[in-house]
Amino acid sequence: HPAITTICTDLEMNALAFEPRSYDLIVKTCYLQRDLFAALKEAVRINGLFVAVIAMMDDDPQVQSMNPAFCLAPGELAHYFDDWELIHSQAGKSPDQPPRRALAEIIARRLR
């Protein structure tokens, strides 16, 4: 679609390159670098959306272990957006697809 501009970037290298209030939508999946949340939130325009799906800590023996530094704690993702409108916020395992890793999901709208 001609009205959509996409960017695929290395967030560790280019997080500071995001202009404040310049994106209608930011989607972040399967990646956690906690110190980027402030920059990514600031890059969303007023009434814009932030969508994320990120792995959570999971002690299920059927799920491959991950470094805890790369996993969210329960409630952590929603906490980062407690000053935004939460359109969707869910954390845990999907009952449809066991034994998948627990995930935190959020769709949040910037109000101010």
Chain segment 55-101, per-residue pLDDT in tens: 999 988 888 889 999 999 999 999 999 999 999 999 998 777 767 88
Q: What is the pLDDT of residue 24?
A: 94
Q: Residue 111 contacts by C-beta under 8 Å, 6 or more apart in sequence?
A: 46, 47, 84, 85
Determine the CATH number of domain 21-109. 3.40.50.150
Residue 1 has pLDDT above 70, yes or no: no
DSSP for 4-26, written as a single string: -------HHHHGGGSPTT-EEEE
Cα(17)–Cα(65) distance, integer angstroms: 33
